A and B are shown apart, each in its own frame.
Chain A
Amino acid sequence: MSTPLTGLPTLQVDWQTLLTVNLPALMLVVIGVPLVLAAYIVGADILVRRLPKRSQVSVRPWVWVGPAIVIVGVILVYPMFGTIFRSLFDRHGSTFVGLGNFTRLLTDGGILIVLRNNLLWLLLYPGLVLIFGLLLAVLADRVPYEKPVKSLIFMPLAISFVAMAIIWQFMYYYRPPDVAQTGTLNAIVVNLFHGQPQTWVQDTRYNNFALIFIGVWGATGFAMVILSAALKGIPGELLEAARVDGANELTVFRRIILPLMMPTIVVVGTTMVIFALKAFDVVYVMTAGNYNTDILARRMYAELYSAGNNANASTLAVILLLAVVPVLIFNLRQFRAVESRR
């Protein structure tokens, strides 16, 4: 009864290979990988113990941090400098062009829309996530069914951006005004408000907001959980005392809750800014960067794969890094401040 799916890149399920080659490989990996890791640390320590007592103390730490430092060096640090280096050469990697790539890219009209969109993501995504997260943390704290509410709002965190994008395609689905709407949002617009159905994803007036909101929907639960924990850390007597003194709920929130939660809000906000800069999946799946919704991360991917232009791709990655630097410095300051209080 199964009719073939139209337009599907069909690869018949090769159960034979799956069961005889891949499954044993997976089993081997599941058992073998932890064994190799344990053997490394035990074996290296036996070797260290053969050294004279004094050098044991100085060698041993490097046995423990060694693998992490080597991997981070190869996977993060080396490529970081490699990309910065590449951004200074032409697309064949042979001629040094200095900042030529940057000036050429930044004077190109197309990239300005990309930068504008990134700025929108950078402002709206952390802002809305914080507002909704804080609102939900404060409100859910006061109802008897707090747990299920929080679980449901937290749930999208377990869903991939690809699945989220599919979920929201059905929310934003457009059909002409003369037929029944099947998209949830347009059904509400048409049936409740007697409006015209909108092309949420294609209309350049608001499609960026539509995409950003998908991200907000996904991350709000994360912010809510952290902010809620901070909220519960505020001593109840403090709030009661203020209420006894006649402060209304809004004053209590503005004068006591908000200032005491500020450090946590800053941590969540910083995390969200980093997420906003790295945003890729939603735009990639929903619009592939069309209809003026492109962002740096997706454009870089396109330069790398569709255009095969390593110089442009590297330059875009460096622009992304430059945008992160202030956040990075802020992050480190925050971290050191917390460390010094320890």
Chain B
Amino acid sequence: MSVVVTTPVPTPTTSAPARRPKVRTERLSARASNAGLQVAVIALTLAWTVPTLGLLINSFRSGGAFNTSGWWTALAPPFKFTLDSYRHVLGASDLAPSFFNSFMITIPATIIPTAIAAFAAYAFSWMKFWGRDWIFLALVGLLAVPLQLTFIPLLTLAVHFGLTSGNTLPLGLNAGFLAIWIAHTGYGLPFSIYLLANFFRVLPQDLFESAEIDGAGPVTVFFRLILPLSVPAIASLVIFQFLWVWNDLLVALIYIGGTPEVAPLTVTLTNLVGSLGQNIQYLTAAAFVSMIVPLIVFFALQRYFVRGILAGSVKG
């Protein structure tokens, strides 16, 4: 399926003498269109890659060079690449603590919704209960609700229960973290349940029946059969939720606002955009620091990720 060149098929009605040159021109045009195809594909790929590449190159250039010439000039000798921007950004700015904060926010905000969604998806796909289909339908509907609609009432609730970044919970945990975990769990659940239920539903039914006959309860079936069989779907969901939370700006701005002690990378980076007038080159390094983790996750687990996207859309 990789190389599909349009091979011309001669029509049987063509007479022999006229046939030869015709085939040749058709082959030529097929080759030309193939060359055109290659040019188009490469041009589009370049167009999609150049913005990131330009930023990457600029992040390894010194400030002076950066201000006077474009990133492409660095590709010609003499090469003068430096790690100064990265040293600056990791050493003197808020970036190191916010790197940590991003993990602190993202790890629980990935584990909690995935687990709760797996519980619910199991019930939705393998148990019968009152209102099951309607509740599931309502969840699908909630996929489209804009997050902005929830902010004001939820902020009021968060303040009422002391879940703001100014408070400290037992074990020294900043209350703002708890607020943002709960928020991300709520925002992530409709999609997570939808994705997992679609996957659970198509697992072979006789497997569960025979397990039940052997005396396995739902907990055993869930942990011993469903989870191991659903590793691809769960892995893709974990990647999805991880990327979405790690890259989120709006939810973080709302629930922990401008508090630098708990701000994740996206918030710190946005503040840098506003404040770094002349030293704009440090921004390039900062952007790449924020991209390292999602890019590693993305390239390492791309195959699962793609499969997960497809489980939620094409198959459904």
Q: Which of A's residues lie within 8 Å of B, judged by CB? A: 2, 4-14, 18, 21-23, 25-26, 28-30, 33-34, 37-38, 41-42, 45, 49, 58, 60-62, 64-65, 67-69, 71-72, 74-80, 82-83, 86, 132, 135-136, 139-144, 146, 149, 151-163, 165-171, 179-184, 187, 217, 220-222, 225-226, 229-230, 232-233, 236, 243-244, 246, 249, 264, 267-268, 271, 274, 277-278, 280-281, 284-285, 296-297, 300-301, 304-305, 310, 313-314, 316-318, 320-321, 324, 327-328, 331-332, 335-336, 338
Contact = CB atoms under 8 A, between A and B. Distances in A.
B195 interface: no
A78 B156 CA distance: 12
A243 B9 contact: yes
14 contacts: A25-B172, A29-B104, A58-B130, A61-B132, A76-B186, A142-B4, A182-B67, A244-B9, A277-B146, A281-B249, A296-B148, A304-B152, A328-B141, A335-B137
A119 to B, nearest CB: 16
A69 B123 contact: no
Contacts of B276: 5-8
A contact patch SS: helix
A83 B190 contact: no
A334 B316 CA distance: 10
Contact of B92 (A2, A79, A179, A332): A2
Contact of B149 (A83, A142, A170, A264): A83
B117 A318 contact: no
Contacts of B269: 160, 162-163, 166
A159 B48 CA distance: 13
A246 B120 contact: no
Interface in B141-178: 141-154, 157, 171-173
A33 B146 contact: no
Nearest to A49: B217
A332 B141 contact: yes
B230 interface: no
A11 B218 CA distance: 51
**Which 7 A-B residue pairs are closest in the complex by CB-CB distance?**
A75-B186, A82-B153, A160-B247, A158-B298, A79-B150, A64-B123, A68-B120
A129 to B, nearest CB: 13
Contact of A6 (B54, B278, B283, B310): B278
B97 A335 contact: no
B48 A220 contact: yes
A42 to B, nearest CB: 6
B contact patch SS: helix
A2 B148 contact: no
B282 to A, nearest CB: 6
Contacts of B186: 71-72, 74-76
A58 B37 CA distance: 60
Contact of A11 (B11, B97, B108, B313): B97
A275 B69 CA distance: 36
Contacts of B127: 60-61, 64
B69 A61 contact: no
A166 B55 contact: yes
A135 B44 contact: yes
B15 interface: no
B51 A167 contact: yes
Nearest to A74: B186
Nearest to A281: B249
B275 interface: yes
A305 B155 CA distance: 12
B182 A75 contact: yes
Given A2-B92, A139-B41, 5 more contacts: A5-B276, A25-B104, A83-B149, A166-B286, A301-B253
A5 B294 contact: no
B153 A83 contact: yes
B14 interface: no
